[in-house]
Chain A
């Protein structure tokens, strides 16, 4: 069936020069989302500006609600999803934190909402630029978290996110992280798939026996204490565990229907085949990293890059196996985890934890870089590569270093 659809839809596929935010707005339209809630905060809010235009122009039929706070934004879609509606929302920085209570309750309620986080530094001091601490704050709660680095990937991942989140084996929310400015506001050529293909890929949202409706008069989220809470947590955890396989299935079918390949869904490998050392990171720092790697390769330095897409679920074993192939690993965090082991970033700490059970354990160094939207430059990347090379050659290095910091 996928084949037949592919033929028919080729004619209607369009290419457009759009930003990451607009790409996600287009995905919402293609996914026929029913309820969307907006509240202004830069940089994510651009997605809602595009949604508003689509609604105003009659191109997109949904309940589009401008809420009075982020807390309400996420509570409104949570309840809309409970009565069976497909929903979308989003936020950035302190806005995401303002919604934190709502974000906390959503996974255990098994609400498969899909949202966009336009990653932004947390105030104070006020800053618009990208940092990943906002989205990462929910990492322990049952949210699926994915980072993308291009407008095309943003659109595709939004469709994949609905399919995975709404899969009854998972039924957990998913946040798509787009680096503020570098992706939310940067345009790229995007192939916009035809409605036919999207319909073939994304089945309707069915809440089944969890639907809140007079025909299914259930009581949702009654008080449960020590007598049952642990079993309920275990069920939520099991949903997250199953998500890994469901993500794999979704990417495989995505490739079949849309013809675009993402390879391993969980992380992208760049120039790793013959690399001796690798950098690891998330989001749009892939651009300077890839440019620097091309430069260094011309000089004979065999550096590779692993870009982590799905942070939750975290593909620990697979990533550890991959990273074990190299003689040193440098993890670039666009975030911080103050007081954490080795005073490192969140990603570095997770990568080290993943490596703990690996048979091959090269040194893992952490770099904190590009905070508050500061550019991660090509010289920064070269510097980090040099440091991990030193480690690979047996010269011990500090476990965490801040790169691009004014002295």
Chain B
């Protein structure tokens, strides 16, 4: 994409994609010392994200499980520089750090070198509270930064409350199924990555990922950090505590979220949408889209679902695949139908 003469972007770090699991460096930058639950996929995201980014990286972390459970005073799990930021501040934290580095390097106050800036947030911190600051950050083409939203589909750290990213019907401590109201949470999950990609045309890279596909996830991070300008990644992370399942199933649930089509994997790079991995196979008909039932019924948070609830869930996912302008990405339908009719 053409950046106009008025925008002066610092050269980014050059990070080639990892060519395979065996080619991964052994060095870890997020290591022992954390207290996340057994089977916590978000912790895995932190570890892979840090490995993908490497040592010349600054990480800013919003309040949430990945703050509270990872950085206890005197026992940090971060090998690279890390700083807490407020719940809704991932966008501002990334921008401030990038701007601070940029100004000092330009003015000769700091050695010139590419330094990765990553700010992460949970779904509560990102899709709810921090949306405005993330949106602002993505409109500043002159700062190299990555905002990574790890989505465990609840305000997990505060004891599992529903967020704008919690799936329909899920049982959380703020949406317990009751005698009169079985479904307390009847809002559909926000389409965060699609919204950000569509709404920020100068943002060069937006992607979804799931660490059940670790190599693909790490390469998303490396692309996001290398391309230049602000970027965004939305990661879906099974959370044994919040989703109520045996921790041994974490990896499988991530795969099922993708295989049922609930969680599409895609990248939007310079305005071009590409479905990747398993999602691409679903779209091309190379493998069948599994029924959502298989995914839902493995999790206690959907244990109160009746047949009609599962059917409703399935209908919404089918709609996404069959009627959306771009399945999983752009939810508008009307003009497509008109086009189909006129064609």
Contact = CB atoms under 8 A, between A and B. Distances in A.
A218 interface: yes
Most buried by A among B76, B80, B83, B107: B83
B232 to A, nearest CB: 16
A214 B115 contact: yes
Size category of the A interface is 35 or more
A223 B96 contact: no
Interface in B109-134: 109-110, 115, 132-133
A71 B130 CA distance: 10
A71 B88 contact: yes
B189 interface: no
Nearest to B103: A34
Most buried by B among A216, A218, A227: A218
A223 B96 CA distance: 22
B84 interface: yes
B68 interface: yes
Contacts of A75: 85-86, 89, 92-93, 96, 133
A198 to B, nearest CB: 16
Contacts of B300: none
A63 B103 contact: yes
A102 B89 CA distance: 9
A61 B133 CA distance: 24
Contact of B95 (A65, A69, A71, A213): A65
Most buried by B among A69, A79, A87, A204: A79
Contact of A102 (B71, B86, B103): B86
Interface string B254-271: 000000000000000000
A376 B76 CA distance: 55
B198 to A, nearest CB: 18
Most buried by A among B57, B84, B106: B84
B77 to A, nearest CB: 9
Contacts of B60: 79
Contact of A82 (B75, B76, B100): B100
B56 interface: yes
A84 B109 contact: yes
A212 interface: yes
Interface string A203-237: 01000000011101111111110011000000000
Interface string B47-62: 0000000011110100
Interface in B62-112: 67-68, 71-76, 78-86, 88-89, 91-97, 99-104, 106-107, 109-110
A83 interface: yes
B92 A214 contact: no
Interface string A65-80: 1011101100111111
Nearest to A69: B132
Interface of B: 55-58, 60, 67-68, 71-76, 78-86, 88-89, 91-97, 99-104, 106-107, 109-110, 115, 132-133, 135-136, 140
Q: In the A-B complex, list the 4 residue pairs whose CB atoms are closest, starting with the nearest.
A: A79-B96, A80-B100, A85-B100, A75-B92
Interface of A: 32, 34-35, 61-63, 65, 67-69, 71-72, 75-85, 87, 101-102, 105, 204, 212-214, 216-224, 227-228
21 contacts: A63-B100, A65-B99, A68-B132, A68-B133, A79-B93, A80-B96, A84-B109, A84-B110, A85-B103, A102-B86, A204-B109, A214-B56, A214-B58, A214-B80, A217-B78, A217-B80, A219-B81, A219-B82, A222-B72, A222-B73, A223-B68
Given A68-B132, A72-B89, A105-B86, 18 more contacts: A34-B103, A35-B100, A61-B103, A65-B140, A67-B92, A69-B132, A72-B133, A76-B96, A84-B104, A85-B101, A212-B83, A214-B56, A214-B58, A217-B81, A219-B76, A220-B83, A222-B75, A222-B84
